[in-house]
């Protein structure tokens, strides 16, 4: 075991798969000699050569197209989008091409591409660097969407993503990159895609969340405990497909739930989770399932981030609202 | 890659245009633009001012008082020279580094600082200042320039649209689409690519197999030129010409300026020693745009140390005041962000407006 930050765990996962499979290629803007703007690919070009870890010209659409093309010739591209807000430049390659590869070829071709990108608020980046755009991805049939909340999961999930035979969007919350360390095995292991993790067991209410909000939710759970409320916290880890069993099992136990996301409210992952609960467990509910989200504005430039992002206090308040319904 | 004769023929035609050499001597008398002594001095004033402002911005950033900042030292001639060729009615579509141009086009300095800090008032362009918000999404400004230029042409404004990107930006699909649209619709646009040799860490040689960026104009069927971007006279002369070409209905122009950024890519943790050598830095600093233009002005008895000192002091003073003004801007509230979402708010934003009003009143 080693103590690793999330970014080190991510590098380690890529190193593991570059070693394991020579068809794995890592590329994007500044990922080579510079090791990525966050150093996620630090040392990989040195270790595996320019042939397998390389810089591309500055064009996300080109990067996505390259990955899609390589994927049908037997490679497993791990492409980096420098910040996820630039996904719009390559939305076609991801959502309209890779995600539809099986459909368009009647199942003959598939696109085992991993799309890695940093995102997430609270680190004062310029516009379109921090936006939570995972909902757009989750609404696209044919894509898996993964968001780790800690170093251990980050490594295991990324290895699974690279080994997956279909495109996986793997989003890395910037605030978690270096904020804490975890025990991470040096050897290879996987965390299964599509499996949530119960981070804290409780009996009064289920808080369903993912990414950086896992930490705010755990903090909220501690606060709630002071008031005698025993909250269960579920880290979805994969937001598409959802681990519906874990969600429903928990809600049937606690009979109350809130869903917490950093993204804006409308048409998001939280809305989808609420709908699934309504479909499957409405008779177990003692109260409506509420959401904690950001407001439905554009993700603001850095100066307003702090007031805009949901905080643990919002989670406490919303939980009490559900409890006292 | 071994290039064919035909290709070599095309590429070799894009020679670097220069008027003032590294020693401050005029090497292309015929091309010397028609500028008065006062105007020549104004060019120098602006470059000195910009250099000081860059230094102050870097130190303010280090103190945590500025926010996002992309240093400009090294690129002054390319920025100031091209903007000086414009008229007030022209439109600028800048990238994130192109703050000097927009300030000289009328954006108040404190507002540029607000933009840096990520305050939405930084984007509120004053009436009559034809400037778009600095673009973070590399390439987006280039296609929009074709649109602005078309708008200006349709409205028969006597003005052009100019946009800026970098050597990396010239790899985006939007770059090719933008210059192609501008050519296809014959609109008055000027596309400036400031080739400072690096896109963060990636050297320009890795961006394309093409020898120059200027030659990319050929495929779009528009005029393309490469210029010594450390020579403010050359940059000014070519931009002026490009502007006129657009107004005369003779199509858009692509200008590649050869330049260098002395500092890091931005102030957010970039370390140039990871991808550049100090030999290369030295080589470029010898071409410095201020040094050579100062020599030129001195040779004409147009410039003194005292004058320069005054400008430095003025710049420092202005910046101090601008930061103070920026500090005075109201703290951003979520309710402000909601209120600028549209002319009429939908139900969800109306509700959220009430919710946040209450929160903010606590
Ligand atoms: C669409 C998009 N992709 C990537 C980035 C991240 N990024 C910011 S600056 C930069 C390099 C730009 O290089 P260049 O175009 O040469 O301009 P320079 O910064 O050198 O002035 C990159 C990759 C971005 N802002 N937008
Ligand atoms: Mg550049």
Over residues A73-82, the pLDDT tens digits come to 999 999 999 9
Q: Which of B113, B138, B204, B265 to mutate to test the interface with A (most CBs of A within 10 A)?
A: B138
Assess whether the C-beta atom of A29 lies below 6 angstroms from ligand 1: yes
Separation of alpha carbons B149 and B164, rounded Å: 14
**Chain B residues touching residue A86 (CB < 8 angstroms):** 137
Query: Of B193, B191, B140, which Cα lies nearest the Cα of B166?
Result: B193
For the residues A130-157, what does the mean pLDDT come to? 98
pLDDT in tens, A56-114: 999 999 999 999 999 999 999 999 999 999 999 999 999 999 999 999 999 999 999 99
Over the stretch A294-324, which tens digit does the pLDDT of each residue have? 999 999 987 788 889 999 999 999 999 999 9
Residue whose CA lies nearest to ligand 1 atom number 13: B199
Which ligand 1 atom sits closest to the C-alpha of A129? 25
A250, two tokens? 């928990």
Alpha carbon distance A31, A198 (integer Å)? 34
Which residue among B98, B134, B165, B200 has the greatest number of ligand 1 atoms within 8 angstroms of its CB, and so is best to mutate?
B200
pLDDT digit string (tens) for chain B, length 362 residues: 899 999 999 999 999 999 999 999 999 999 999 999 999 999 999 999 999 999 999 999 999 999 999 999 999 999 999 999 999 999 999 999 999 999 999 999 999 999 999 999 999 999 999 999 999 999 999 999 999 999 999 999 999 999 999 999 999 999 999 999 999 999 999 999 999 999 999 999 999 999 999 999 999 999 999 999 999 999 999 999 999 999 999 999 999 999 999 999 999 999 999 999 999 999 999 999 999 999 999 999 999 999 999 999 999 999 999 999 999 999 999 999 999 999 999 999 999 999 999 999 98
Order of strands across the sheet that contains B161-166:
B16-17, B223-228, B253-258, B189-195, B161-166, B91-93
How many whole angstroms from its chain centre is CA A305? 20
Q: Mutate which of B111, B113, B200 to test chain A, going by most A C-beta atoms within 10 A? A: B200
Q: How many angstroms does the Cα of residue A81 sit away from the middle of ligand 1?
A: 12
Q: Is A129 a catalytic residue?
A: yes
User: What are the chain B neighbours of A296 within 8 Å (beta carbons)?
Assistant: 341, 348-349, 352
Task: Tell me what pLDDT residue A210 has.
Answer: 98
For tokens 């008031």, the residue is A227
Test A295 with B275 for CB contact under 8 angstroms. no
Q: Rounded CA gap, A206 and A273, in Å?
A: 12
Determine if ligand 1 sits within 6 Å of the CB of residue B168: yes
Mention every residue, 6+ apart, whose C-beta is less than 8 A from residue B81: B43, B231, B232, B233, B234, B235, B236, B239
For residue range B79-92, what is the model confidence (pLDDT) as tens digits?
999 999 999 999 99
Q: CB of B229 closer than 6 A to ligand 1?
A: no
Element (H, E) at A155: helix A151-163
Catalytic residues of B: 261, 265, 275
Residue A163's pLDDT is: 98
- Among A268, A78, A33, A131, CA closest to B136: A131
In whole angstroms, what is the distance from residue B242 CA to residue B223 CA?
9
- Maximum distance among all Cα pairs of chain B, rounded to whole angstroms: 74
Q: Which residue has the tokens 């794995």?
A: A24
The tens digit of pLDDT for each residue in B149-185 reads: 999 999 999 999 999 999 999 999 999 999 999 999 9
Under 8 Å between Cβ of B95 and B134: yes
Ligand 1 touching residue B72 (CB < 6 A): no
Q: What is the DSSP letter of B97?
A: T
Q: With an 8 Å Cβ cutoff, is B356 touching chain A?
A: yes
Are B161 and B225 in contact by the 8 Å Cβ rule? The answer is no
């Amino acid at each position: 075991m080693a103590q690793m930050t999330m970014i080190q765990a991510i590098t380690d996962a890529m190193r593991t798969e570059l070693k394991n499979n020579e068809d794995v290629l890592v590329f994007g803007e500044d990922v080579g000699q510079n090791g990525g703007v966050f150093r996620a690919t630090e040392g990989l070009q040195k270790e595996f050569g320019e042939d397998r870890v390389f810089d591309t010209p500055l064009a996300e659409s080109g990067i996505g197209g390259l990955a899609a093309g390589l994927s049908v010739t037997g490679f497993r591209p791990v492409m980096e989008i420098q910040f996820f807000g630039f996904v719009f430049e390559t939305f076609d390659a991801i959502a309209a091409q890779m995600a539809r590869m099986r459909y368009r070829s009647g199942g003959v071709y598939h696109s085992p591409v991993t799309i890695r990108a940093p995102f997430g608020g609270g680190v004062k980046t310029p516009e379109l660097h921090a936006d939570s755009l995972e909902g757009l991805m989750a609404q696209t049939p044919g894509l898996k969407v993964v968001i780790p909340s800690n170093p251990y999961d980050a490594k295991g999930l990324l290895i699974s993503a690279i080994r997956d035979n279909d495109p996986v969007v793997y989003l890395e919350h910037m605030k978690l990159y270096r904020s804490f360390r975890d025990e991470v095995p040096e050897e290879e292991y996987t965390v299964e895609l599509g499996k949530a993790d119960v981070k804290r067991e409780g009996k009064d209410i289920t808080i369903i969340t993912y990414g950086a909000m896992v930490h705010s939710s755990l903090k909220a759970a501690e606060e709630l405990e002071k008031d005698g409320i025993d909250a269960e916290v579920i880290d979805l880890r994969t937001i598409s497909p959802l681990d519906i069993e874990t969600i429903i099992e928990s809600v049937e136990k606690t009979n109350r739930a809130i869903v917490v996301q950093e993204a804006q409210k409308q048409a998001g992952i939280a809305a989808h989770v609420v709908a699934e609960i309504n479909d499957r467990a409405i008779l177990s509910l003692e109260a409506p399932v509420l959401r904690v989200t950001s407001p439905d504005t554009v993700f603001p430039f850095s100066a307003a981030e702090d007031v805009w992002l949901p905080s643990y206090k919002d989670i406490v308040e919303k939980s009490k609202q559900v409890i006292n319904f | 890659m071994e290039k064919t004769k035909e290709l070599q023929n095309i590429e070799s035609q894009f020679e670097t245009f220069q008027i003032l050499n590294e020693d401050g001597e005029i090497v292309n008398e015929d091309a010397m633009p028609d500028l008065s002594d006062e105007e020549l001095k104004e060019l120098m004033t602006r470059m000195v001012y910009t250099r000081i402002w860059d230094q102050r911005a870097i130190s303010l950033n280090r103190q945590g008082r500025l926010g996002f900042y992309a240093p400009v030292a090294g690129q002054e001639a390319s920025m100031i020279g091209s903007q000086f060729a414009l008229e007030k009615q022209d439109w600028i579509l800048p990238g994130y580094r192109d703050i000097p141009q927009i300030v000289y086009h009328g954006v108040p300095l404190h507002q540029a600082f607000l933009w840096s800090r990520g305050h939405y008032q930084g984007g509120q362009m004053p009436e009559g200042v034809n400037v778009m918000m600095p673009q973070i999404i590399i390439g987006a400004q280039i296609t929009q320039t074709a649109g602005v230029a078309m708008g200006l042409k349709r409205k028969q404004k006597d003005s052009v649209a100019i946009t800026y990107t970098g050597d990396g930006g010239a790899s985006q699909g939007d770059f090719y689409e933008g210059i192609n649209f501008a050519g296809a619709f014959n609109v008055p646009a000027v596309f400036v690519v400031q080739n400072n040799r690096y896109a963060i860490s990636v050297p320009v040689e890795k961006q394309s197999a093409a020898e120059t960026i200027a030659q990319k104009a050929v495929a779009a069927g528009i005029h393309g030129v490469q210029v010594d971007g450390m020579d403010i006279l050359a940059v000014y002369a070519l931009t002026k010409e490009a502007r006129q070409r657009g107004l005369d209905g003779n199509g858009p122009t692509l200008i590649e300026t050869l330049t260098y950024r002395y500092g890091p890519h931005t102030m957010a943790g970039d370390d140039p020693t990871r991808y550049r050598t100090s030999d290369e830095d030295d080589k470029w600093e010898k071409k410095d745009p201020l040094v050579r233009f100062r020599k030129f002005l001195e040779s004409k008895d147009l410039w003194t140390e005292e004058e320069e000192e005054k400008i430095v002091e003025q710049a420092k003073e202005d910046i101090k005041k601008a930061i103070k003004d920026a500090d005075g801007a109201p703290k951003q509230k979520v309710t402000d962000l909601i209120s600028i979402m549209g002319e009429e708010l939908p139900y969800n934003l109306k509700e959220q407006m009430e919710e946040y009003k209450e929160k903010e009143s606590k």
